[in-house]
Every structure is written in structure tokens, then in C-alpha cells.
Structure 1
Amino acid sequence: MSALKLKLDQDQLVEDFFESTHLMGIVSSARDYQLSWQLNRQLHYPFRVNNSLEIKLTKHQRSFFFTVYEFQEPTKSVSHYLYNNHCKAEFLLPELKNIDYLWLIKGDYYGPQDVKKLTEALRHVELVQLVSLLDLREIKNKVNLIF
């Protein structure tokens, strides 16, 4: 009797995870906890580190751990995730080496205009040097963002 092998459909997994999402790239020399504190103080987004969402990548027999901060808006059914894009000399999304943090908004509540307003507000946060909206279709390693 042969064993049944199940194969994970990564394309479907990626498509499902990124349905109704927006992604912003943030350039900041601040540490992740400092940026999180500043986002709470200035924009009232109380991000908290979620160790269960930490992303582990293994390259060249070394493990790298990427911190993920989370904030839930239950009244809007929206989740916000702030990813650290680098750990030591490795990157969560290698094609975005100039980006320090990634802010993923997951849920139907925010439309393009809302995200544009948030991007503008982020540009005024003290520790933020640059913010840009990212096109998920142009990101090759987006599977790395799935926890």
C-alpha cells in the first residue's frame, strides 16, 4: 500500500493570505520597538510584538528570526502587521534591501484612499525617513511574509 502524499499549493496559499491586503515599506534607522512605540504615540496604532508570529528563515545552515508586531482593529475586522525586514545580514524580502520595515494591512475595511492617508500620516512620524506603497505583484518572495 503506497503512502498518500499531500502537496501544499504555495500559489493558492499566497493568494489566500494576500487577499484584501495593502503593503507599505518603511525606511527608518530606529529599532523595531522604538518605531512601534512612536507609531502608537503619534498615530495611535498600539502595535505589540507577537512572538508566535515570528518568522524563521534558514539560509546557509543558519537561522534568522524576523520580529512581527501586531495590532487588531476588532470593530473594523482589520489586522495590522509590522515586519522587521532585516535580521543581522539577511533580509525577509531580499528584493527590498533598502526597506527596513513592512506594514501589512489585512482586511476589507481600508480602501486605497485610506491607505494613502495612512501613508501620508506615516511620513510625519518622527522616526520614519521614507514610506512607500508596495505592489504585491512585484514582490518575488512574498511567501516569506506568511506566518
Structure 2
Amino acid sequence: MSVLKLKLDQDALVEDFFEDAWLAGIISQAKDYQLIWQLNKQLGFDFRVNNSLEINLAKNRRSFFFTVYEHQELTKSAGHYFYNNHCKAEFLLPELKHVDYLWLIKGNYYQQPDVKALIEQCRKAELVQMASLLDLRDIRNRINLIF
């Protein structure tokens, strides 16, 4: 009797997840909750921790948990996700070690000029040292962002 093995097509999963998505990198020395409070005020958003989206990575028999904040814009069918990129000297996206936080915007409402305007608003927050749009195609470990 032969055993049927099914294999998950990770490339297709990644492509589907990041369709109509934008990613920004943010540098800030602030704690996540301090930065989120300021961004909520600056952008008029309501980012909140979503424990069900927390990302767990296992490396060298240790577990690392990366907090994810979420804000939904129901009228625009857009979701905003704010990730910590660091946890105990490990990185969610190791190729972006200089980036402290990641902001993923999902949904087809936002186009590049809109995203650039949001990032410009983000830069105005006192605790933000730098914020810039990233090219998702250049990120090797983007599967780590999938919740």
C-alpha cells in the first residue's frame, strides 16, 4: 500500500498572503507599547495587541515570541499589522537586523502614494527615528511574517 504525501506549497502561500500588501520598516528605541500609543495618536489608529497573531519561532531548541499589534479599517477593507522584529537577540526578519519594528498594510485600498503618505505621518511621531517603505521581494524570510 502506498502512502500519499501532501506537501504545502510555501511559495504559493507567501504569494497569496502578500498580495496587495505593503511593508514598512521602523527604527525606534522605544518600547513597543510606547511607540504604538504614539502612532495611534499620530495616525488616528487603534492598534491593539492581538495575542492570537503572535508569532512563535523556534531556534536551537528555544522559542521566541514576536508580538503583533493589529488595527482594522473596515470601511477601507484594510488591515494594519505592527510586528516587533526583535526578541531576546533573535530577529523575525534576520536580514533586517537594523529595523526594530515592521508595519504590514494588507488590502487593495492603499496604493503606493497612500502608503508613502502614511509613512510620512509615521515619521512625524516623536519616538520614530526612521521609517521607510521596504520591497517585499527583497525579503528572504517573509514567511516569518505570516500568522
**After TM superposition, is the score higher than 0.5?**
yes
Aligned equivalents of 1:125 and 1:88: distance in 2?
26
> In structure 1, what is the equivalent of residue 43 of structure 2?
43
Q: How many residues align?
A: 147
Aligned equivalents of 2:64 and 2:49: distance in 1?
17
Moved more, 29-38 or 19-28: 29-38
Structure 1: where are the runs of 5+ without partners?
Answer: none
Aligned equivalents of 1:119 and 1:40: distance in 2?
13
Superposed, 1:78-89 pairs within 5 Å as: 78-89=78-89
> In structure 2, what is the equivalent of residue 112 of structure 1?
112
> In structure 2, what is the equivalent of residue 9 of structure 1?
9
Aligned equivalents of 2:94 and 2:144: distance in 1?
10
Deviation string 1:90-128 (CA, Å, 9 cap, x unpaired) is 000000000000000000000000011111111100110
Superposed, 1:1-147 pairs within 5 Å as: 1-147=1-147
Deviation string 1:34-79 (CA, Å, 9 cap, x unpaired) is 1111111121111000000000000111000000000000111000
Structure 1 runs of 4+ aligned residues shifted over 4 Å read: none
Structure 2: where are the runs of 5+ without partners?
Answer: none
How high is the sequence identity, in percent, across the aligned residues? 72
CA shift for structure 1 position 3: 2.5
Partner of 1:22: helix, strand, or coil?
Answer: strand
Aligned equivalents of 1:47 and 1:98: distance in 2?
23
2:27 touches 2:99 (CA, 8 Å); kept in 1?
A: yes
Query: What's the TM-score once normalised by structure 2's chain length?
Result: 0.98
Aligned equivalents of 2:79 and 2:91: distance in 1?
23
Aligned equivalents of 1:142 and 1:23: distance in 2?
10
Partner of 1:117: helix, strand, or coil?
Answer: helix
Aligned equivalents of 1:75 and 1:121: distance in 2?
20
Aligned equivalents of 1:75 and 1:19: distance in 2?
19
